[in-house]
Structure formats: C-alpha cells, structure tokens
C-alpha cells in the first residue's frame, strides 16, 4: 500500500491553534504539505483574540521538520478570509487544500434567551467563515483546475437539544459543500469538496465536566479524525459532495435521501388524502440520494425540463 503524501502542495487549515484543527494541520505537514495555520485565538464562544495559538501550532510543525506559517486573521469576515488566502499565495504561490475547521458555540438554552449577537456569532464563524474562505480560494482553485476542500460540519445537524444557532450554522456548511461540489462536477473541474462531522474531545467538551472530557479524550481523540480529513484532502480523494461522521477510529457516510413516497398526480390533493398517505411518505425501505435539487424534483411525474433549470442555475 503506497503512502499518501502532499509534497509540493499548500494547505490552509482554519481553527488550527489546537484540538482537531491542529491535528489536521500536523498530519498534513508530516506528509509533506506546506501549511498555513489559521486561528483567531478567541475562546470557545468567539470572544477575544490571541495570535499565539496559531503561532504555537506552526512552531510545533516547524520543530518537527515541517513547513508552516501562522495566521491570526478572523474567518468571519471577507477581509479576513481574503488575507488568509493571500498570505498562502504570497508565501508559496499556490493553494491546493482548504480545511474549514473554525467554529464556535456562543448560544445555548431556551430559544427565547438566544440574543441577536449570539445568533450572528454562531452562524458568522461556522457558516459565514466557510463561505468567506471558500469564496476567497475558489477562483484560484477554479483557474488552476485543482483543489480539495474539506468542510467541517457537526452531528448537531441532527438536532442539539435546545441549541439552534450552532446546528443551523453546521447545516449551512453541508449546503455549501453540496453546492460547490455540484458546481465543480458540472464543469468537470478537478476540485472535490467534501464534509465531515467529527466526534472528538475538544475545548468545548471541557464544559461538560472533567470526567466526560477525559472519556472523550480517551475514546475520541482528535488524532483519530485527522486521517479521514487527510484522505479527503488528497489528490486521490475518493468522492465529491459527500459527508462523513468521523470519530474514535471509524467513519461512516452521512447522506440526505428522499423516500419513494407517495407520488400521486392529483393536483387537488386534500388534507385528508395527505393524511392517508403519510405512511408511504415516511417509508424509507426504498429511497433515492439526489445529485442536486433538480434530481429531487424529477422524482415527481411531470414534463418540466429539469435539465434546463440545471443549465440556467449553473
């Protein structure tokens, strides 16, 4: 089995001052990539800034014989994202890999207690940061006809108690992943965009108490997630537009499918008829995984030329 390496390639890893992001950056560097380590250095709720976090990670890579630079810019603004990509291009002349790991949690508890500021912070870093970073790098990747983007979502996408902001942001990350992957595939670009939902001990799990954090660190160490991220970031990345749950040494595909459902043609469908067919709509014994929104719409019987929609949007 040949070793997968990144010699000559340049990677940007956001939120890499510690935890998962640092694990990703360290592994990519060990396998030959030049790595721009980005981290604002704020706390888990997004407050404050300290460039020493990014610099410490970059120094650790250099001490181990790798090549790394540090960035303390914020991904939550267009200017910050553009500065991060520009720094990599000016230093090394290219960007091949982008790992969008930065994210924070600023809100919890009942929805009525979530402030506008908390909502903006939660969505601004994970969703906004992913958007800004992808946009800043996208033209370069497009013109060079090569790129690997690994976005970091979360299992909170399935629901997180009373939390809303963080799951919403991570759900948006999945939407960004699918949109960019579809765009690259449509133009036959050698750009692959995938997504992971990591399970690992982190600064956030510290909040759950010493015992739980210790168990998370033992059973779900950040280093167990990094190999899957590196595989998706490699030239031999096996897929595009996919999402994986990753943790504890294993990983599994996560997908959004559409059941066979009830595909009636009665345009005068009544509430009572809808109720009568709920079981068919809910049955997942047979399902489809659409490539895009037009694929999903085409599951209904119609004469609408969905390919025309695809061409118009693309």
Residues 300, 176 share a domain: no
Residues 224, 309 share a domain: no
- If pLDDT is split at 50, 70 and 90, which confidence band does 143 have? very high
146 noted as active-site residue: no
Residues 93, 173 share a domain: yes
- If pLDDT is split at 50, 70 and 90, which confidence band does 142 have? very high
Residue of 175, 182, 180 lying closest to 98 (CA atoms): 180
Residues 198, 105 share a domain: yes
Residues 304, 247 share a domain: no
Q: Which among 24, 132, 166, 287 is annotated as catalytic?
A: 166
Final residue of a structural domain among 211, 237, 254: 254
Residues 178, 68 share a domain: yes
Cα-to-chain-centroid distance, residue 279: 33
- Average pLDDT of the segment spanning 95-100: 98
pLDDT at 158 > cutoff 90: no
**How many CB atoms within 10 Å of residue 226?**
24
- If pLDDT is split at 50, 70 and 90, which confidence band does 176 have? very high
- In whole numbers, what is the pLDDT of the chain averaged over residues? 90
Residues 290, 231 share a domain: no
* Tens digit of each residue's pLDDT (9 = 90 or more) over 178-207: 999 999 999 999 999 999 999 987 766 666
Percent of the chain scoring above 90 in pLDDT: 65
Residues 300, 244 share a domain: no
Q: Which domain holds residue 193?
A: 10-254
pLDDT score at 241: 97
Number of domains in the chain: 2
pLDDT at 109 > cutoff 90: no
Residues 200, 281 share a domain: no
Residues 250, 262 share a domain: no
CATH of the domain at 217: 3.40.50.720
């Amino acid at each position: 089995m040949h070793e997968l390496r990144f010699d000559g390639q340049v990677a940007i890893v956001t939120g890499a001052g510690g935890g998962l992001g640092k694990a990703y950056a360290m592994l990519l560097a060990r396998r030959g990539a030049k790595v721009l380590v980005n981290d604002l250095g704020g706390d888990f709720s997004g407050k404050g800034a300290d460039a020493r976090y990014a610099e410490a990670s970059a120094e650790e890579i250099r001490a181990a014989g790798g090549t790394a630079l540090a960035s303390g810019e914020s991904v939550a603004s267009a200017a910050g994202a553009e500065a991060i990509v520009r720094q990599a291009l000016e230093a090394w002349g290219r960007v091949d890999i982008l790992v969008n790991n930065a994210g924070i949690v600023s809100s919890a508890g009942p929805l009525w207690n979530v402030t506008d500021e908390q909502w903006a912070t939660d969505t601004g870093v994970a969703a906004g940061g992913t958007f800004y970073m992808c946009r800043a790098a996208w033209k370069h990747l497009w013109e060079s006809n090569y790129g690997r983007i690994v976005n970091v979502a979360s299992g909170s996408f399935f629901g997180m108690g009373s939390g809303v902001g963080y799951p919403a942001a991570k759900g948006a990350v999945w939407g960004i992943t699918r949109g960019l992957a579809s765009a690259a595939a449509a133009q036959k670009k050698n750009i692959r965009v995938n997504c992971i939902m990591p399970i690992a001990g982190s600064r956030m799990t510290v909040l759950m108490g010493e015992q739980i954090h210790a168990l998370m660190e033992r059973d779900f160490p950040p280093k167990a997630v990094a190999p899957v991220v590196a595989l998706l970031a490699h030239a031999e990345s096996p897929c595009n537009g996919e999402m994986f749950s990753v943790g504890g040494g294993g990983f599994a595909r996560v997908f959004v499918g559409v059941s066979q459902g009830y595909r009636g043609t009665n345009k005068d469908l009544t509430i009572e008829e809808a109720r009568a067919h709920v079981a068919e709509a809910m049955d997942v014994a047979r399902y489809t995984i659409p490539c895009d929104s037009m694929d999903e719409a085409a599951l209904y019987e119609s004469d609408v030329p969905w390919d025309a929609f695809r061409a118009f949007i693309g």
